[in-house]
Structure 1
């Protein structure tokens, strides 16, 4: 009986280890995808986004809408985001985004620890940063791994994984739309 239990536990552990060995997407994987995402073109003028935050189990915990205004002066862009959540609460974030070179970006915002880093290829952008997230009177530093995919000249989809100490806390899914 112990032997069967040990074999079953070993098989389960092996399966879990193999499941974790899948290759994660890389930005280069999207280099040949179109339409090509150009942040200076897409993030220019008014935008609106609709999104949800889901917990680890996939349950929707918050719904929200974001009204945005974006503009660029040379290689420096400003993205003003005004969030309205389904519970009526509001939040504002203003990003300063700098193009560092072809398809490479950095960004700052008041509630972002240090700098966000981004890289684009084809129709995709990967954006990584640490956000100072207020929850019930405390502030937690959580990591965001954002992936953006340009669908056409009007729609940009975003899926962000939120984690702490390497453990997934949930996901944010957004659909950006240009009027």
Structure 2
């Protein structure tokens, strides 16, 4: 083996190794946060406690460029019997349209939850730790007369006894479509 051949083999190996490390770093950077990162944060996010009774939310949907496409309000009522709950949501959009979604929720223990709704494909699976709740699901979304199955990556952060911030990213075929941002408030039951 000549010196130039050995140098070419070594350079090729270094290039492949560097590309492999760069790709691994890129993928690790895309991993995002883990719900356990928030385990020490307060107040504690217990869906059975927070989503129990009346709530009001105000939100926006932004497209992939960050432009606000729709504003909306949501009137919600949560009810729990042991580890089984429902969350009845009534949406009013800025264009005057309305929508209703009824979540059927189940606490699995250890901060884990599963949820279903008529426009959710399969099950939503989630986990709470500290003040955060994270779940992922596929939503059957009506877009211009067609149904799109859109992947949602949904994060909720409890801010205090009454307030919760919710941020969801929406993707189809791995492409970023937009985001939903909500501020939820527990409504006084007086």
Q: Would you say 1:119 and 2:134 are equivalent positions?
A: no
**Structure 1 residue aligned with 2:106, among 98, 102, 108?**
98
The answer on 1:156 being equivalent to 2:164 is yes
Instruction: Give unpaired runs (5+ residues) of structure 1.
Output: 1-15
Instruction: Give 1 or 2: higher helix fraction.
Output: 2
Matched, 1:108 2:108: no
User: TM-score, normalized by length of structure 1?
Assistant: 0.89
1:175 aligned onto 2:147 = no
Residues in 2 aligned to 1:32 and 1:159: alpha-carbon distance in whole angstroms = 20
Map Cα deviations across residues 102-139 of structure 1 (whole Å, 9 max, x no partner): 20000000000000001000000001100000011100
Partner of residue 49 from structure 1, selected from 54, 57, 68: 57
Calculate the TM-score normalised by the size of structure 2: 0.84
Larger radius of gyration: 2
Q: Is 2:76 the counterpart of 1:65? A: no
- After TM superposition, the runs of 4+ consecutive aligned structure 1 residues lying more than 4 A away are 16-21
* 1:35-59 alpha-carbon deviations (Å, 9 max, x no partner): 1111111000000000000011100
Counterpart of 2:38 (choices 10, 30, 43) is 30
Out of 136, 148, 151, which is 1:128 matched to? 136
* Other-structure match for 1:76: 84
Shift of 1:20: 6.2
Deviation at 1:161? 0.3
Structure 2 residue runs without a partner (length 5+): 1-21
